[in-house]
Amino acid sequence: MNLIFFSKREGRTRHLNLAHPATLGAVGALVLGILGTAFMIGLELGKRSGPHFGGADAGRWAEIVAAQKSEIAEMKNDLQERIDAIAMRMGAVNGHVIRLDALGKRLTEMANLDHREFNFDAAPAAGGPEDESAGVAAQIPDLTLMLTELEERVNLRDAQLAALESVLIARQLREQIYPDGRPVRAGFISSYFGERQDPFTGHEAFHKGIDFSSRAGSDVVAVAAGVVTWAGERSGFGYLVEINHGGGYVTRYGHNRRNLVSVGTTVQRGDTIAEMGSTGRSTGPHVHFEVLRNGRQVDPLTFIGR
């Protein structure tokens, strides 16, 4: 094969015979020189990059994988601890809710509310149109914040319901200790509070109570809750029972045939405390009933009328 070269300057042509041994030798030497140069450059680059890549062997990769596994295990442990903490807080909140439900039921009964309207055994009714916008899933920090806010709300409701219970108990206590009703189960008023003619002397005298007449031995009952502070004979009263109700109120039940309570006994409204009689300064079976407010007798008819 011949290569023909044209010279523009001299206008002549030159021939190069590729099949000539000299030409082949020159081309081969040139190719070998290029390959040798490339090989030397590759060796030099390998030497320079050896320190960088020499550590990335199987042992190094094993260490990297082990470190990553350790990090994953730590992340799992941390996540499990967070889940356990949230579960414990949820358990505490659930305990608060159970106590609030029990307190709500008790308050419903104390306040005589309709249990069907305030049903603590069922979830409160809720509803509304569905929001078409796509919701965002709650994240762990958001759940912690939501749980904290829920705990604060539950604690607030707990305190509010406890305060309401105290108010209702105080109101019921006041109603229990406030004198209300008649001191007998059967009978009629035979003498009223105020000025009257004394049945023994015939003179004008002030009657400090109301007399209820009935058959001898009939029940004498407490008109309010309280503690018995006197149970025995007293001049003019015969056998007397005196009950302190607190709040400055005291009631007296006189002329009993027999007292059925003793000093220190706690009684409730309607409890039988004595048998009607005619002891002391009396003309027949009746109970002399007095109401004292802050140490002074007041008209018992006001309390009987309640």
Residues 284 and 194 in one domain: yes
Number of residues in the chain: 306
What average pLDDT does the structure give for the chain? 77
Q: How confident is the model at residue 262 (pLDDT cuts 50, 70, 90)?
A: very high
Which of 39-43, 82-86, 122-126, 277-281 reaches the highest mean pLDDT? 277-281
Helix or strand or coil: residue 185?
coil
Please count the structural domains in the chain.
3
Domain holding 240: CATH number?
2.70.70.10
Q: What is the domain range of residue 31?
A: 2-49
Residues 100 and 206 in one domain: no
User: Distance between terminal CA atoms of the chain?
Assistant: 140
| Domain-located, residue 194 | yes
| Domain-located, residue 285 | yes
Q: Give 23-77 pLDDT, tens digit per residue.
A: 656 666 666 777 777 767 766 666 665 555 455 566 777 788 888 888 888 888 8
Residues 172 and 195 in one domain: no
Model confidence, pTM: 0.50
| Domain-located, residue 90 | yes
Q: Give 148-159 pLDDT, tens digit per residue.
A: 777 777 777 777
**CA atoms of 167 and 107, how far apart (whole Å):** 10
pLDDT of residue 240: 97
Half-sphere CA count of 4, side-chain side, radius 13 A: 4
Residue 178's closest CA among 274, 246, 241? 246
Residues 204 and 263 in one domain: yes
pLDDT of residue 275: 96
Q: How confident is the model at residue 19 (pLDDT cuts 50, 70, 90)?
A: low
Residues 255 and 286 in one domain: yes
pLDDT of residue 255: 95
Q: Give 204-254 pLDDT, tens digit per residue.
A: 889 999 999 999 999 999 999 999 999 999 999 999 999 999 888 999 999
Between 268 and 84, name the one with better pLDDT: 268
Residues 200 and 108 in one domain: no
| Domain-located, residue 245 | yes
Helix or strand or coil: residue 184?
strand
Residues 198 and 235 in one domain: yes
| Domain-located, residue 240 | yes
| Domain-located, residue 110 | yes
Q: Indicate the residue among 34, 49, 64 that finishes a domain.
A: 49
Helix or strand or coil: residue 196?
strand
- Is the model's pLDDT at 133 over the cut of 90? no
Q: Indicate the residue among 151, 177, 203 that finishes a domain.
A: 177
| Domain-located, residue 7 | yes
| Domain-located, residue 66 | no
